[in-house]
Amino acid sequence: MQELKKDLYLIDKAELLTVIMEKKNALWRLCQICCSYPKAENHFEVTYSFANGQDISNYRLIAEREEEVPSISRVYKSAIFYENEMHELWGLHVENIKQDFHDKLYRIDVETPFLEKEGE
């Protein structure tokens, strides 16, 4: 784990579930999961944010376009919605989501509308 700046840590996929379990066991709540695909970086950035009272902590995971990211929905049930959203809107591959909506969370006509397609 590498601290990028105050309260923002870069983690790798192998560390994700360990960090999530540590937060859950310490009674931190999941605030949000944010996904982006910076064009210049050419990879997904997934940021998990947790709060405990006034304290906030963020963990960023870098994932390649076709890489699978482990689901945290078995630890934090609310992650089901974030993970389905990231898959449906961005095309992020999330493995073992507790409840997968199979691209039916939103009523949209375009596949992965937030992810710029090759050649665009």
Q: Which two tokens stand for residue 118?
A: 């090759």
Distance CA 69, CA 27 (A): 23
- pLDDT score at 53: 95
119 — pLDDT class (breaks 50, 70, 90): low
Q: Please state the rounded mean pLDDT for residues 16-43.
A: 95
Q: How many residues does the chain have?
A: 120
Element at 55 (helix H, strand E): strand 55-63
Over range 61-66, report the average pLDDT. Answer: 94
CATH 3.40.50.12780 fits 2-95, yes or no: no
pTM of the full structure: 0.89
User: Where do we find the tokens 């990231």?
Assistant: 86
Answer whether residue 24 shows pLDDT above 80.
Answer: yes
Instruction: Give the pLDDT confidence score for residue 101 in this predicted structure.
Output: 73
DSSP-assigned letter for residue 86 = I
* Contact criterion met (CB below 8 Å) for 13 and 22: no
Map out the domains of the chain as residue ranges. Answer: 2-95
pLDDT higher than 60, residue 120: no
Nearest-Å Rg of the Cα atoms of the chain is 14
